[in-house]
Amino acid sequence: MAILDSGSLMDNESLCLPCTPDEEATIVKELTEKDESCVKEGNLYYVISNRWFVKWQKYVGEKSGKHVFKGLLTDKQATPLTKPAERPGPIDNTDIITQKDGRDGSDLQLHRTLIERSDYVLVPQVVWEKLHGWYKGGPALPRQMISLGIQKTLSVEVYPLALKVIDSRDKSEIIIHISKKASVRKLYEQVSALKRVDSEKSCIWDYFNDCKQTVLANSDQTMEESNLQMDQSILFDVQTDGFIPSGSGMDSTGNQLALVPIEPQRLSRTIAGGPSLSNGHGPDYGSSLYQGPTLDSVSADEEHTQDSERSGPERDRGLAGLQNLGNTCFMNSALQCLVHTSPLVDYFLQDYTDEINKLNPLGMQGEVAVAFGELLRKLWSSGRTTVAPRVFKGKLARFAPQFSGYNQHDSQELLAFLLDGLHEDLNRVKQKPYIETKDSNGRPDEEVANEFWSNHKARNDSIVVDVCQGQYKSTLVCPLCDKISITFDPFMYLSLPLPSTATRSMTITFFCGNGRSLPMPFTVNVLKQGYCKDLFQALGVACCLGSDETLILAEVYNHKIFRYLDNGELLHTIKDDECIVAYRLLKKQAEFPMLEICHRYLEDVKAGEGTRFLTPLVTFLEDARNGTDIELAVNRVLGPLKKKMFLSTSRSEGVKVNGSVSEATEESTSDCQLDTEVGDLFGDKELEETYSNELSLRLCLMDDRGMSGKSILKNSVVNPSKIVKVILDWTDKDHGLYDSNYLKDLPMIHKPGLTVKKTKQESLSLFSCLDAFLKEEPLGPDDMWYCPGCNEHQQATKKLDLWRLPNIIVFHLKRFSYSRFLKNKLDTFVDFPIHNLDLSKYVKNKDSCGGSSVYELYAISNHYGGLGGGHYSAYAKLVEEDRWYHFDDSYVTPVSEGDIVTSAAYLLFYQRVKTNKLNEPIGESSEVYEDI
């Protein structure tokens, strides 16, 4: 790969010369931005241990936890205010390497459980060369950018394909690593070179589950297209003079044969390109066919089952496990739930070829539907034999590259993709008409809902819509003009939050923006899963907030305001170790520009150099025209911090507002003295008279990056924007006048204390989760609604209601929460009914579901453990047996119905129960009720 030009900052800098932290940060940022502008397949990246990289981040002044290079600090003033970090030693990647005896750098492999940005980072080649030039060390771990799937999604191949090569001559085994984008011809060359055999005399088999599957043709077909899986075996054969390995797919002259089946085909007719089910298996089960240059057809069955194992008894139908192909338990769990969904089973066991839509631009040419259908057929025809879903995983990786690797993924994300993909591949609508959505405009809900549903069905008509799609009512209300918008949207699953019944204690420090009181911490209790609007409300009550007052909440980090909080932000995004402050201001001031004041201690007054300290202050600028007006506002908010001076004779003789006092004692003001004494000292009239000649405070404007700009003078012209940011430089003289201790050492949201042992597991009901999902709440700041009344984006309130229920309803329990830097899993126990789940009280339109709103549980996708290292399994009910089974990858075992309700439940699958004319459930049947 050609080395990119390092830019203007590199012109007079060599790898040998030391750089300052600021220079290193600037160089790396510039090189990274240049690389991002020309990302393409084949680019080389290097893996670096995050343990070392965090040390480098601290050294150059970057806040760890952010994106690797986003927001990289490049100036001295922006570095953290703690003692500068020491320069890290040589690059050390040994903690992430699992194979340390490789033949060369490219052969070094990483631990399989590593997580990007947590255990390692990826840097472009040019950045690696700079870092390695500065720090040396290593070892180097180069990885290539490849394109995955039909959409050619670019991704760095951190984990190349690992294959176990078994030599048929002596049964010896070696492990090789090869890119998923490498050709089979490259595989032949690599293996033949290791075995010191001419590649023309070599023969390599797909050797899956200790059985020969197909001969891999020496062609340009890629590893990805050949459906080879991580850690699987390949069998190496060598042709001797005139000898051809059994079933190798070549004739005596060495010419390839078109098709050489290992075992005879039994039946000729297949459905949707797959096996017939007349006797439990079809022509492609266990057949090892030489496919020539491609293996694209799902008829080439890599999901091998031995003939002796395929003749399972009829009573074992539906009890086949799915082999784990390398962290595919998430996929296996979701698949087992779907293949035990009765309407889908009935559909895919029949001939569905006429409904495959290969021309739908939103679909996947019907390939995903066919692959899923074939997999379902094998699972229902192979008795208890484990099936390896290699073809399905190959199709999945082709159309959804996000699932192409061997890392753990989310079963709900897979379910969402698969349901949508099946729908589009089986959409009976070949040409979707254009339909313009009409506003409700006060029309009856029934009329609007039916119109939306008809429009939806005109473009979307499939087995998935018939079985899995419902409809909910969405009501948006503009907070400014009260415009109401009502829509009726389809859904395939409901993602339910897990509201906590426990409260959370949060400590917030109050600052008065008008300078009328000292800073004071308040501790309030709010719901763990609440919103910032709940925190605003609790704080307002705690501090007796007036009707004419408002609060501004902000997070303070490194002595500056890191972000402002709004009503719609979730409270769980605020961590216990963060510092949150509240600024108390008058509502009428909100229309004026906001003044943000940061503090800096001048270590060298003449040079103007200093470090930031103390807590920022916020106030508003009313009719500010010049520098004097800004200083007046700063003095006003600093008022409570002014030190009182007492003389032995009289107060009036000893007080000088901006000077020192001899023979005086100093005290900080107290709460009871603020309104009189401090107010008298710092009235607006006296301030104006005192500072009429010159500014006594050293104030500088800040730019958008928080960097110090020019000094503010008396006659400086102010062009206030929405937020005016200034730096107040503190001198020894200022420390004598003001008590800065009140601005030091902000309390954290919650100080860790002794761990209290839980005496009772926190639990919720499924109904409380539904209530939380359907309650009215404000939209998030990143999800603003464009109001047609205001013609502006507004943070509207949103209310959801169920309108039309599907035959199959899936509940997704949102156990995974995400914030700026952290991911978390909630292990809260959710109590959900197995029988007779009645949703009637949640349905607004009682006639839309034919009078039936009772459901029966039939499958569960479970997640155990934490993020990254967790495990998925599934519970599914065989309706014919009325018995539950645990599907844990290859292992299928019966389970008691009383043991399936656990805190691991992640996806809940319910089926509508058929009712009689009196709307009463008929026994415990899970029979599908016909859609109305």
pLDDT in tens, 267-284: 333 333 333 333 333 333
pLDDT-derived band at 810 (thresholds 50, 70, 90) equals: very high
Question: What backbone phi and psi angles, to 5 degrees, belong to 587?
Answer: -60, -35
Residue whose pair of structure tokens reads 């017939």 in the numeric block: 276
- Residue 717 sits in the same domain as residue 610: yes
**156, 187, 217: which is the final residue of a domain?**
156
- Residue 166 sits in the same domain as residue 116: no
Over range 205-212, report the average pLDDT. 79
Question: What backbone phi and psi angles, to 5 degrees, belong to 888?
Answer: -115, 85
- Domain of 201: which CATH number? 3.10.20.90
- For 320, 343, 377, 405, 626, the CA distances from 347, given in Å and listed in that order, are 19, 6, 11, 31, 76
Residue whose pair of structure tokens reads 């760095």 in the numeric block: 156
Does residue 640 register a pLDDT over 60? yes
Q: 916, exposed or middle or buried, with CB in 10 Å at 0-12, 13-18, 19+?
A: exposed
The total domain count for the chain is: 3
Positions of E strands within 102-258: 120-124, 137-138, 142-148, 153-156, 161-167, 173-178, 202-208, 211-215, 233-238
ω into residue 139 within 30 of 0, thus cis?
A: yes
Residue 169 lies in a domain: yes
Element spanning 122, H or E: strand 120-124
Q: What sign does the dihedral 42-43-48-50 (CA atoms) show?
A: negative
- What pLDDT, on a 0 to 100 scale, did the predictor assign at position 86? 81
Q: Which of 284, 232, 411 is nearest to 336 (CA)?
A: 411
Does residue 373 register a pLDDT over 60? yes
- What pLDDT, on a 0 to 100 scale, did the predictor assign at position 395? 84
- Residue 152 sits in the same domain as residue 177: no
- Residue 533 sits in the same domain as residue 556: yes
Contact 177, 162 (CB under 8 A): yes
Residue 349 lies in a domain: no
Residue 890 lies in a domain: no
- Residue 224 sits in the same domain as residue 152: no
Q: Where are the alpha helices (DSSP H) in 288-359?
A: 329-339, 342-348
- Domain of 128: which CATH number? 3.30.2230.10
- Annotated catalytic sites, by residue? 329, 871
Q: Give the range of the structural domain holding residue 535, as residue numbers without chain letter.
A: 503-642+696-744
Give the residue with greater pLDDT, 227 vs 62.
227
Distance CA(79)–CA(58), nearest Å, equals: 9
Residue 636 lies in a domain: yes
Over range 452-462, report the average pLDDT. 92
Residue 583 lies in a domain: yes
**156, 176, 198: which is the final residue of a domain?**
156
Residue whose pair of structure tokens reads 């692959």 in the numeric block: 371
Determine what percent of the chain falls in helix, strand and coil, rounding each to the nearest 5: 25, 30, 45
Over range 84-91, report the average pLDDT. 81
Contact 6, 31 (CB under 8 A): yes
Q: Which of 260-274, 309-323, 492-506, 719-733 has the lowest mean pLDDT?
A: 260-274
What mean pLDDT value characterizes the chain?
A: 75
Distance CA(678)–CA(451), nearest Å, equals: 67
Q: Which of 228-237, 243-252, 726-735 has the lowest mean pLDDT?
A: 243-252
Does residue 11 register a pLDDT over 80? no
Does residue 721 register a pLDDT over 80? no
Query: Quick count: other Cβ atoms within 10 Å of Cβ 42?
Result: 10
Q: Which of 230, 224, 170 is nearest to 197 (CA)?
A: 170
Give pLDDT tens digits for 545-572.
Answer: 888 888 889 998 888 888 888 877 888 7
Residue 809 lies in a domain: no
- What pLDDT, on a 0 to 100 scale, did the predictor assign at position 886? 96
Residue whose pair of structure tokens reads 């490219």 in the numeric block: 106
How many angstroms separate the first and last alpha carbons of the chain? 62
Nearby residues of 171 by Cβ (< 8 Å), 6 or more positions away: none
Does residue 812 register a pLDDT over 90? yes
Does residue 37 register a pLDDT over 80? yes
pLDDT-derived band at 606 (thresholds 50, 70, 90) equals: low
Residue whose pair of structure tokens reads 């003295």 in the numeric block: 673
Distance, C-alpha 159 to centroid of its chain: 21
**131, 156, 181: which is the final residue of a domain?**
156
- What pLDDT, on a 0 to 100 scale, did the predictor assign at position 164? 86
- Residue 562 sits in the same domain as residue 509: yes
- Residue 57 sits in the same domain as residue 194: no
Token pair, residue 563, equals: 């972000």
Q: Which of 928, 909, 915 is nearest to 419 (CA)?
A: 909
Give pLDDT tens digits for 16-32.
Answer: 456 788 888 888 888 88
- Residue 57 sits in the same domain as residue 143: yes
Element spanning 888, H or E: strand 883-888
Over range 74-95, report the average pLDDT. 63
Q: Which of 376-380, 696-700, 752-756, 814-818 has the lowest mean pLDDT?
A: 752-756
Does residue 298 register a pLDDT over 60? no
The 3-state DSSP class for residue 429 equals coil
Q: Which of 414-423, 634-643, 711-720 has the lowest mean pLDDT?
A: 711-720
Residue 827 lies in a domain: no
Does residue 660 register a pLDDT over 50? no
Question: What backbone phi and psi angles, to 5 degrees, belong to 655?
Answer: -95, 125
Contact 615, 559 (CB under 8 A): yes
Query: Quick count: other Cβ atoms within 10 Å of Cβ 555?
Result: 17
Over range 470-478, report the average pLDDT. 90
Give pLDDT tens digits for 613-622.
Answer: 888 988 888 7
Does residue 848 register a pLDDT over 50? yes
Over range 162-184, report the average pLDDT. 85
Residue 208 lies in a domain: yes
Give the residue with greater pLDDT, 441 vs 282.
441
Does residue 287 register a pLDDT over 70? no
Question: What backbone phi and psi angles, to 5 degrees, belong to 842?
Answer: -95, -10
Residue at 389: amino acid letter: P
Does residue 916 register a pLDDT over 70? no
Q: Which of 433-442, 651-660, 687-696 has the lowest mean pLDDT?
A: 651-660
Q: Are strands 777-778 and 560-565 parallel, antiparallel or unpaired?
A: unpaired
Does residue 624 register a pLDDT over 60? yes
- What pLDDT, on a 0 to 100 scale, did the predictor assign at position 857? 96
Distance CA(325)–CA(536), nearest Å, equals: 49
The 3-state DSSP class for residue 52 equals helix
Nearby residues of 151 by Cβ (< 8 Å), 6 or more positions away: 399, 401
- Residue 111 sits in the same domain as residue 234: no
- Residue 144 sits in the same domain as residue 121: yes
Does residue 808 register a pLDDT over 90? yes
Token pair, residue 511, equals: 């600052």
Q: Which of 117, 178, 109, 179 is nearest to 139 (CA)?
A: 109
- What pLDDT, on a 0 to 100 scale, did the predictor assign at position 77? 36
Contact 347, 375 (CB under 8 A): no
Element spanning 397, H or E: helix 390-399
Does residue 371 register a pLDDT over 60? yes
- Residue 181 sits in the same domain as residue 52: no
Nearby residues of 362 by Cβ (< 8 Å), 6 or more positions away: 424, 427
- Residue 564 sits in the same domain as residue 599: yes
- What pLDDT, on a 0 to 100 scale, did the predictor assign at position 762? 56
Contact 45, 68 (CB under 8 A): no
Residue whose pair of structure tokens reads 């415009």 in the numeric block: 483
